[in-house]
Amino acid sequence: MNKPDPRKPAGETALENLFGVIDRVQLGPEAEAIGRVTQIADGLIHVSGLGSARLGELLAFEDGSRAFVLNLDVDSLQAALLDPGVEIEAGDPVHRTHALVSIPVGEGLLGRVIDPLGRPLDEGGPVEAAGYELIEKPAPSIIDRDFVSEPVETGILVIDALFAIGRGQRELIIGERATGKTSIAVDTIINQKDSDLVCVYVAIGQRTTAVRRAIDAIREKGAPERCVFVVAPATAEPGLRWLAPFAGMTVAEYFRDRGGHALIVLDDLTKHAVTHRELALLARQPPGREAYPGDIFYLHARLLERAAKLSPAKGGGSLTALPIAEIEAGNLSAYIPTNLISISDGQIVLSNQLFAANQRPAVDIGLSVSRVGGKAQTDALKEVAGKVRLDYAQYLELRVFSRFGGFGDESLKKRIAHGDRIGALLAQRRLSPLGPADQVALLAALDAGTLEDVPLDAIETVKDILPAVISANPALAEFRADPQKLTEEIRAILVDCVRQAAARAQKPVPAAPG
């Protein structure tokens, strides 16, 4: 500011300053497009007068609520509310923000619980973001992708041995309600406690209590400081539930695009499809099969295609996706399940019958598949897991026929007894992951017949004791650090470790004195 001239009257100096301010003002017309609410119902707003708005653009209302443009018509548009918007009525003005929907990203989100717009849902204060990135982004091109060859170790024997998941893969977890779908995903996240994977858990339309249980389990057993929780519960606005998986992908891509490795769990896409159908019907889009709109396949395809293993030229990072889908009455041929199966690189199918028979995790060996398979397994695990799936599938068929009796053949009885031990070995309690060396040891012992004389109810105890036995053996230190190649010497030592664990598991417990 100019200093007043002492030779001039004070009033004259003030007047000159005022004229100077006026001269600096940029005069000219300013145009602002203002629309009007024509209809509002169930979280969807019809707006007229904003023909220049873009798809995915944020709109602002007088009461502070926001929405994003979901559909564009010739003379109007439909916007999905991101806030309750209880004071919005027909005739209210609508303002453009000229900004597309974005979310904060960066390491400041690690350990936090946020909504799909990056607003904190925990008590950690404001989110410290490294920047903002668009929620809707194109998937990496084919030339920018690399082969999927590194494993994502879930710690679940039946998955790691029979349906290996690789970094950059999209493996669908599908099953009926309450069959352990979320449990498999949560156990996988917990098993990354000592890995370099950053985990993003996205809850879409879930009950608040279920989301709380999953987050508490990860915080108690896993590494929450390397996890991000994106939550849009069943009580959230449909717009937030619709945005949730895309927001989670953007958060995870931040780490992948910088050469890191990320894992995202989408729980679940069936509820996301229902939300999309709800908004589409409110927007009067023509319904198709099962009343879903025609773009439902493209919706999930463009989402899941963003998971990929990048080439070394792009940093070599990876983003692995574990989408979850729910089916009814075991109907895998329903519209949404078949869409997701065709988009993903394999599926882990959970059986309601196995779950009821206390086979947990209730993985259906015959219907599950990984289209990456052995390419993402270590050589050691691949060597000992080769015959397990075939032997177990044959055992399940034999067990069905054995109900009719008449099995006098001793070899068939041995095959059924062997299958019983495979089933007991593949059964695994929640929150009790097995390391790669433990898995190789158990399967090698199964192949060597070490477990044939172990009672079925003692095999779970063997799995509990085995990690301590292997850790105490100095000859296995190098193999535990890098369980890639399995020599005959190492195989024999691992089998002997299982034999020791089995002996301890069957040792009688001394009676209490008195």
Sign of CA dihedral 386, 392, 398, 400: negative
Tell me, letter by letter, the H, E, C secondary structure of 145-176: ECCCCCECCCCCHHHHHHCCCECCCECEEEEE
Side-chain-side CA neighbours of 60 within 13 Å: the count stands at: 10
What DSSP designation does 457 have? G
Token readout for 122 is 């925990």
- How far apart CA 394 and CA 412 sit, in angstroms, is 11
510 C-beta neighbours (distance < 10 Å), count? 6
The CA-to-CA distance between both ends of the chain, in Å, stands at 95
Label residue 43 left, alpha or beta by phi (over 0 means left) and psi (-120 to 50 means alpha). Answer: left
CA distance 401 to 405: 8
Q: CB of 94 within 8 A of CB of 88?
A: no
DSSP state of 170: B
């352990």: which residue's tokens?
180
Catalytic, out of 54, 66, 219, 371: 371
**Whether residue 403 lies in the annotated active site:** no
Q: Which segments within 83-130 are labelled E, that is strand?
A: 93-100, 102-105, 113-114
Q: Specify the DSSP element, H or E, that contains 361.
A: none
> Active-site residues: which are they?
371
